[in-house]
Amino acid sequence: MGRVLLIIGGVVGCIVLVIGVLVLISALAQPDANQSDEVVGSALFIGVGLVVAAPCLFFAYRMTPPVRFGSANASAEASRQASRIGASGAMPPPPKPAMVKTLARIGASTVGLLEPSERVLVSFLGTNRSAGAVVAGAAFGVIGSAIAASRSGAVFVTITDRRVIALIAGAYGGLASNVALIESRSTVSAKFPKGLFGQRSFTIKGAGGGSVTAAVTKPWRPEASMAIELLAPSAMTQIGVIR
C-alpha cells in the first residue's frame, strides 16, 4: 500500500512538472506582455513537480522487493518450519494461512544466512520499536513514519539450533534489507514481558552490541513465547533431541 501511494505521488509530481515545462516553452516561444508572469508560474510548477516526484519515485524504487537466491523455496521453508514448531516441546498452534505468506518472507530472507546443517526452530514477525525507528517516526511526522516503516518497520526474528538472527525489513512487503543481530544463542539475552493494554514487546540483546525491540501482535505471541523458552539456559541441553 505504501509503495502504491508513493507511485501515485510520483506520477502526480511528474504531471505537474510536465505542465510547468510546457508553459515555460510556450512563454519563451511566444513572448508577450505577460511573459515574465508566465515564466515565474512555470518555474513554480516545475519546482513543485520536482519536490513531489523525486522523493516519491526514489522511495518507491527502494521499496521494490529485491530478487534473491533462495526466494523460490520460501514456501517450502515455511512449511518445514511449521513442522519443526511442534518438535521443540512448546506447542504454539499451526500458522494460519495469513501467516504463511509472512513466514515465506522470513524464510526467504534468512535462508542465505544459515550455516550448513543449521536448523530453524521458530521464526516470527514483530513491529520495529527500536530506538532508531521510534526517533525517525517522531522526527518526520506521519509521512516520515510511513516512509521509515516502508524500509525498516518490520523485524524478522529467527531462532535456530545454534544462533539468533534478527533482520530488519519493510512493513509493507519484500525481503529483509538489514541485519540487526546474528549471534550464538548462548550470548543473547531476551525479554518478552507483559505490557499495558495487552501490548507486548520482544527485546533481544547480544554480547556484540546488536539489539532489537519489536512489538509482537497476538497471532505471533505463541512463537515469541517459544523463542523465550528456547533462549532460556535450560533449553540449551535439549537441542540434541530436537529433530
Could you report the average pLDDT of every consecutive run of 10 residues in the chain (243 residues)?
Answer: 67 80 79 76 80 71 51 53 52 70 92 94 91 57 68 91 94 89 94 76 90 91 92 60 36
pLDDT at res. 60: 62
pLDDT at res. 23: 77
* Pair (94, 195) in one structural domain: yes
* Pair (55, 131) in one structural domain: no
* Pair (57, 87) in one structural domain: no
- Number of other residues whose CB lies within 10 A of the CB of residue 11: 15
The Cα–Cα gap between 23 and 25 comes to 6
Helices (H) and strands (E) in the chain, counts: 6, 7
- Here the CATH number for the domain that contains residue 116 is 2.30.29.30
User: Per the structure, how many domains does the chain have?
Assistant: 2
* Pair (41, 103) in one structural domain: no
The Cα–Cα gap between 214 and 200 comes to 8
Task: Return the beta strands (E) in 96-210 as ranges.
Answer: 120-128, 154-160, 163-169, 178-184, 188-191, 201-206
Question: Which residues are registered as beta bridge partners of 189?
Answer: 205
Q: What is the DSSP letter of 89?
A: S
- Number of other residues whose CB lies within 10 A of the CB of residue 63: 20
The Cα–Cα gap between 69 and 77 comes to 13
* Pair (13, 96) in one structural domain: no
* Pair (12, 132) in one structural domain: no
The Cα–Cα gap between 157 and 213 comes to 10
158 lies in which domain range?
71-241
By CB neighbour count within 10 A (0-12 exposed, 13-18 middle, 19+ buried), where does 211 fall?
middle
Question: Which residues are registered as beta bridge partners of 154?
Answer: 127, 169
* Pair (202, 99) in one structural domain: yes
pLDDT at res. 239: 46
The Cα–Cα gap between 75 and 168 comes to 20
pLDDT at res. 241: 37
End-of-domain residue from the set 62, 92, 111: 62
* Pair (123, 26) in one structural domain: no
End-of-domain residue from the set 62, 80, 109: 62
End-of-domain residue from the set 62, 82, 114: 62
Would you state the cell numbers that stand for residue 25, as one nine-digit string? 516553452
* Pair (53, 92) in one structural domain: no
